[in-house]
Amino acid sequence: MSSALEQDPSLKLPAPSRGDRGGNLGLARNLGLVIALVVLCVVGLITAGDRFASTDNLLTILRLAAVVGVVSIGMTFVITGGGIDLSVGAILALASVWATTTGTQDMADSIGWIAMVFSALLVGTCAGLINGLLVAYGKVVPFIATLAMLASARGLAEVIADRKTQIIRNQGFTDFFDAEPLGIPVIVIIFALVTVAGWFLLNRTTFGRRTFAVGGNPEAARLAGIKVQRHTVYLYALLGLTCGIAAVMLMSRTTTGSSTHGTLLELDAIAAVVIGGTLLSGGRGTVVGTLFGVLIFTILTNVFTLNNLSTSTQNVAKGVIIVVAVLLQQRIANRKT
């Protein structure tokens, strides 16, 4: 194994410092995100004043960021590992519909609302597992495999719900997720816990180091003893799990399950991850950067909404930000090369 690595320099394993521990480069990147966040907040204060700075608006921003943020954390792992997933919105919709069917809610009435949560998590994880198996063992290109899942999951959700919105009638579920311990909404607390857990998993565990290695150079990772295919399946299953968590959060916000939930969520999640500094080509990822990316997009949307600007203008601004972020990534990659 060592001789193969020595004979072919292209099989060199990526340095383990490509994540949030990326030294001066990582600090500079995060500093740029912080500056962008501060600029947006200043613009919000100037244009919307107290409406932007109010506690209620801050909680609104965090609530909006929570759902896409949880999915973006999972997306960070997949993209860092060299993949991509276009089906996260459809998986979220399927999980929300499955968890709010009459049968599931009847079960929740009998054994507790946790049955609805478990159902959503199980559906999300299984869908992610299928994606991972198709990509890793079926050798299907991630773009095609997850595009197929997007269509299939959304279609299945429509069939199950009969294209109708399913109302959550379990009071225990509603009461739990409507609570605000210390004035903080439960879904915001969940977002914070998922972010901390994601950061720890990516930067302080063997699983995280293997993710960087698989995304940076799969063949070198294989020669180093990493089960690349199995690890790829784990990454997609993890993303599916975060979709299940996000489905529960969205169910609690809307008190519904619907096949229309999560529409275009995949674009928001990928955009937040890219803005945060994770390379689309894999091998480098940052959960902290993803968090900043989510907040930047959410605050941008909030500022535009407070100033009664059209969604078309918002989309143009988001597109410009994404292009600039990708160009900066290419410049950084070329400089390292």
Per the listing, tokens 């879904």 go with: 187
On whether the CB atoms of residues 81 and 201 are closer than 8 A, the answer is: no
Output the CA angle 302-241-159, nearest 5 degrees: 85
Confidence (pTM): 0.89
Number of continuous H segments (helices) and E segments (strands) in the chain: 16, 2
Q: Return the structure tokens found at 17.
A: 């410092």
pLDDT of residue 330: 63
Residue type at position 288: V
pLDDT of residue 84: 96
On whether the CB atoms of residues 282 and 135 are closer than 8 A, the answer is: no
Say whether 166 sits in a helix, a strand or coil. Answer: strand
Residues 153-168: tens digit of each pLDDT: 999 999 999 989 999 9
pLDDT of residue 35: 84
Which stretches of the chain drop beneath a pLDDT of 50? 1-7, 9-10, 15-18, 21-23
Buried b (16+ CB within 10 A) or exposed e, 237-272: bbbbbbbbbbbbbbbbbebbbbbbbbeebbebbbbb
- DSSP class of residue 104 equals H
On whether the CB atoms of residues 169 and 105 are closer than 8 A, the answer is: yes
pLDDT of residue 314: 76
In this structure, how many other beta carbons lie within 10 angstroms of the beta carbon of residue 10?
8
pLDDT of residue 333: 57
pLDDT of residue 10: 47
Q: Return the structure tokens found at 4.
A: 């193969």
pLDDT of residue 149: 97
On whether the CB atoms of residues 285 and 76 are closer than 8 A, the answer is: yes
Task: Provide, for the chain, the percentages of residues in helix, strand and coil under a 3-state DSSP scheme, each rounded to the nearest 5.
Answer: 75, 0, 20
